[in-house]
Structure 1
Amino acid sequence: MHANHDEAASAADTIGFDDFLKVDIRVGTIVSAESFPEARKPALKLVIDFGPVIGRKKSSAQITENHAAEELIGRQVMAVVNFPPRQIGPVMSEVLTLGFPDAQGKVVLAAPVLGVPDGGRLF
């Protein structure tokens, strides 16, 4: 998760549809989730399967308040798959797993309501 979680006060600047299309948000299934004690803030190391084209990607996600590692296996999530990888401690985070703040500002993962094929792109 990236820094600015407190954007709820106002909407972001207006963008064109072409700008939206630059952000590649895909759905994938979590195949591995484990604690990440080396992270500065409590986080989990995830491996997410985005299907045959994109494959499996790693992510570090600060989601420990609302999500236990053992409950995440097999769950679908949404992630930005076209950011450059970021080194987070010993882990190379390849995708940005997406979520929304709950009433206390803690992350709740974003996911489709119904199961969909892994690798599908948000539109």
Structure 2
Amino acid sequence: MAALASSPAADRIAFDDFMKVDIRIGQVIKAETFPEARKPAYKLTIDFGDPIGVKRSSAQITRHYTIEQLTGRKVAAVVNFAPRQIGPFMSEVLTLGFPDADGEVVLAGVDRDAVIGGRLF
């Protein structure tokens, strides 16, 4: 996965294409182990407020985060992808992160108190 960090920029897109991807800030209200996952992962329950509500996500973030560190944390996620079956779990949103030097995921976040459900622009 470390190769992703050094890959060239993707092709240019129009601003309207970017706006099709709905990225919101949510707050993790529950984090659980996901022993059935092929790669180490957590099952996250994330509150995005009204009108999106509570959604679930599978996230391969066990290297840098504990369940205790995740509960209450604000995370960015794509909320308008189709749900994806991950083993026995239905992941409804894509929690966003960046690779560290070893290719492990570091969560994308905010450095101030952003409103739950706020959309990235």
Aligned to 1:114: 112
Aligned-pair distance for 1:5? Answer: 6.9
Residues 88, 30 of structure 1: alpha-carbon distance in 2 compared, 3 angstrom cutoff: same
Aligned to 1:50: 48
In 1, the alpha carbon distance for the partners of 2:3 and 2:43 equals 20
Residues 90, 62 of structure 1: alpha-carbon distance in 2 compared, 3 angstrom cutoff: same
Aligned to 1:27: 25
What is the aligned-residue RMSD (CA, Å)? 1.5
- Superposed CA deviations along residues 29-87 of structure 1, whole A, max 9, x for unmatched, are 00000110000000000000001210000000001111111111110000000000001
Which residue type is aligned with residue 35 of structure 1?
T
Residues 36, 79 of structure 1: alpha-carbon distance in 2 compared, 3 angstrom cutoff: same
Instruction: Report the 3-state secondary structure (helix = DSSP H, G, I; strand = E; otherwise coil) of the residue aligned with 1:70.
Output: helix
In 2, the alpha carbon distance for the partners of 1:73 and 1:5 equals 30
Aligned to 2:58: 60
Instruction: Report the 3-state secondary structure (helix = DSSP H, G, I; strand = E; otherwise coil) of the residue aligned with 1:64.
Output: coil
Aligned-pair distance for 1:117? Answer: 1.0
Aligned to 1:76: 74
Q: Which runs of 4+ in 1 moved over 6 A?
A: none
> How many correspondences in the alignment?
121
Residues 121, 15 of structure 1: alpha-carbon distance in 2 compared, 3 angstrom cutoff: same
Residues 18, 5 of structure 1: alpha-carbon distance in 2 compared, 3 angstrom cutoff: farther
TM-score by length of structure 2 reads 0.95
Aligned-pair distance for 1:107? Answer: 0.3
Instruction: Report the 3-state secondary structure (helix = DSSP H, G, I; strand = E; otherwise coil) of the residue aligned with 2:102.
Output: coil
Segments of 5+ residues of structure 2 without an aligned counterpart are none
Deviates more, 1:108-117 or 1:7-16: 7-16
8 Å Cα contact 1:5/1:101 also seen in 2: no
